[in-house]
Structure 1
Amino acid sequence: MISETDLEIVNALQINPRADWSRVGDVLGLSGPTVARRWNSLAEQGLAWITPAPGPRYLSAGWSAFISLSSLPSENEALVHKLCAEPAFGTVSLVSGSHGLFIDCFASSHEELMEIVTGSFAGLPGVTHREVVFVTKLYRQASDWRSGTLEPARARLMSAEPLPAPTAYAPDRLDASLLEELARDGRASWAELGAACGVAPQTARRRVERFLASGYMTLRCDTSASAQQGLREVSLILNVPADHVDVVGRYFAALPNCRLSAQVLGAQNLLVTLWVRDYLEVQSHERELAERAPGSAVISRQAVVRNYKRLGHVLDESGRSRSVVPLPLWREG
């Protein structure tokens, strides 16, 4: 387990991932250099990291799908290795239920997503069955989740001022390069980002702030299992009557323990991911679902047994980040 102070730093960076160290220090009662030193130690050990993630408007610029795979047990290790090496497969998890593996898939265009869905699986070892559902609407994303370690007053002090939304524009090669560098280190300085991409620090900052303000992209602070304080990840795959799906999607999105609430196109139409301390908590949510949307059906329940990869970060057995495969979230137009 990491220290309470480190958990507070993580929570501060969940709220404002690129906040100045001096600001984080002021909120936590520490010096800026102390906060920087402690964060760098967490990052070097793979205990915490910051990485680009889909923003609230991502689906108007990019594409996403969830994929469930079944495989031959003898080929599972080789299959996981291949999945983790593929940039489009952002998150790869071993789960309970009828399918052994659950994958988040990202693409920068509809054509690219179709190519992945139709062409990527032929070369994967041991796959016996696959199911693909396309994400059509996001009610909540994991980047919105907060650990709640900081009391509300201090959490509010960490909130970032909203940036003015830019006029419509298409990303170019520089934007894609900056995203790739941020995938490797979401706390890299403007000077470091600029040097890596061959531009001035001011240009790097202006470009990053522009695509963050657009809502297409955001930054997310993730942690290894040791910083998750005993929380367990469970997903409910639901079929909700069409006239209730928005209400139910927003209900789950408003729950503090909700990591993801997404409308999908498939045999089911809603996928919800919750972090719980006890699996029995799921039953209370299902009872609430039955009251709010009679006729709803739970198609599947699955608990994460192990995360092999999370949003591009390849993880070891303890959930520490060991390498990065940048996601194709957004490419030049």
Structure 2
Amino acid sequence: MQTATEGTNLKESAMISELDLEIVNALQINPRAEWSRVADVLELSGPTVARRWSALAGQGLAWITPSPGPRYLSAGWSAFINLSSTPERHGALIERLCAEPAFGTVSLVSGPHDLFVDCFASSHEELMAIVTGAFADLPGVTRREVVFVTQLYRQASEWRSGTLEPARARLMAKGSMAPPPAYSPDKLDAALLEALARDGRAGWADLGTACGVSAQTARRRVERFLASGYITMRCDTAAVVQQNLREVSLALNVPATHVDEVGRYFAALASCRLSAQVLGAQNLVVTFWVRDYLEIQAHERELASRAPGSTVISRQAVVRTYKRLGHVLDESGRSTGVVPLPLWREAQ
């Protein structure tokens, strides 16, 4: 149970304790690890760790939710969308975008566009329907640019804050499991994903009750789709926990002979949140979390060295994020609610 002192500290202070940061880093590595395992790694008691996480989650400072896995694009579809809008309809447009389940992230950005949106769909047909139909009724849109994601080199679920010592981080790592044969999701898989979107740390018994099955069945199904690589779990945090990191994305046009090499190079950098090959005027999108915008110049110099002939199509710095992977955020970046993503719907 959260103590009054802990609750007050989290509510009134912009400072997050080192313990909180270590717990978050542990759950970035292994989001559904047993509290006893996290406690052993941090040399604490299980109840202490659980209480601290409950305080963070209760204040919207940290949360865990399903996310596309490394094999997601073999089962689902994704696109990045840049939008421009009339100033007087800006607020109404953001509200509509945040309410749409298919739009996972909605950010106000610098550069030639006003908003960046990432879009998820469980089939090509569904993605095309969103791209061709969902924008007709959106208020104030004056321009849109859609690029389709074709290959993922790194996803935000793989980003780590690095707070834990390397030896402790290795102890938190999940053991590898052989991926199951390809399969199609059913109604239960879809229901479990929605329940996990609302509480990514929900216990097996609670998941089973929410979906009308036993705890054992819930565990078996969740472990199967996590092992498949189609879906993973991800720990996200409010801005105060991110310790002044700034988000910047580069849209790049890299010669086809070098795009895989460059995509993998950026993916291996600790500051990289996303590295994705795309189909559009650009062919690679890379997102970094940096402490100084000047770090981006170093990345561009390295790009010119590794892949001569590459060009930067656009640079976007995030001004404010309104929604991140389904979680609706307030002005300080705290989660105030969730709109579950249609990552993987029941097979028809």
What is the TM-score of this pair, normalised by structure 2? 0.95
Kindly report which structure 2 residues correspond to 1:205-284, keeping only aligned pairs within 5 A, or say none.
Answer: 205-284=219-298
Question: Aligned partners of 1:300 and 1:164: how far apart in 2?
Answer: 40
Paired letter, 1:148: G
Alignment pair present for 1:331 and 2:338? no
| Aligned structure 1 segments of 4 or more residues deviating by more than 4 angstroms | none
Q: Deviations over 1:222-273 (max 9, x none)?
A: 0000000110000000000000000000000000000000000000000000
Match of 2:9 in 1: none
C-alpha displacement of 1:2:
1.2
209, 234, 246: which one pairs with 1:195?
209
Partner residue in 2 for 1:321: 335
Q: Distance in 1 between matches of 2:33 and 2:190?
A: 22
Q: How many Å separate the matches in 2 of 1:165 and 1:87?
A: 28
Q: 1:313 is matched by which residue type in structure 2?
A: H
Asked whether 1:37 is paired with 2:55, we answer: no
SS at match of 2:70: coil
C-alpha distance in structure 1 between counterparts of 2:280 and 2:58, whole Å = 40
Partner residue of 1:300? 314
Alpha-carbon distance in structure 2 between the residues aligned to 1:129 and 1:53? 28
2:234 partner amino acid: R
Aligned to 1:171: 185
1:132 aligns with 2:146: yes
Q: Is 1:103 matched up with 2:103?
A: no
Residue 22 of structure 2 aligns with an amino acid whose one-letter code is E
Write the distance in 1 (CA, Å) between the matches of 2:222 and 2:87: 43
**Cα deviation per residue 1:144-194 (whole Å; 9 max; x = unaligned)?**
000000010000000111122112211000000000000000000000000
Counterpart of 1:173, as a letter, is K
Q: How far apart are the structure 2 equivalents of 1:295 and 1:159?
A: 39
Is residue 2:72 matched to residue 1:58?
yes
Distance, in Å, in 1 between the alignment partners of 2:181 and 2:290 is 40
Deviations 1:80-135 (A, max 9, x none): 00000000000000000010100000000000000000000010000000000000
Match of 1:75 in 2: 89
Query: Which residue identity does 2:100 align to in structure 1?
Result: E
Whichever residue aligns with residue 102 of structure 1, its letter is: F
- Specify which of 130, 152, 159 is matched with residue 116 of structure 1: 130
Gaps of 5+ in 2: 1-14
Distance 1:168 1:21 in 2: 31
- The size of the alignment, in residue pairs, is 333
1:160 and 2:199 matched: no
The one-letter code matched in structure 2 to 1:124 is L
- % same residue: 81
Q: Distance in 1 between matches of 2:167 and 2:54?
A: 26
Matched, 1:3 2:28: no
Q: Matched residues in 1 for 2:270 and 2:59: separation?
A: 28
1:309 pairs with 305, 320, 323, which one?
323
Mapped to 2, the partners of 1:67 and 1:255 lie a distance apart of: 25
Out of 105, 110, 116, which is 1:91 matched to?
A: 105
Structure-1 separation of matches of 2:119 and 2:93: 15
From 24, 40, 54, the equivalent of 1:26 is 40
Report the aligned-residue RMSD: 0.4
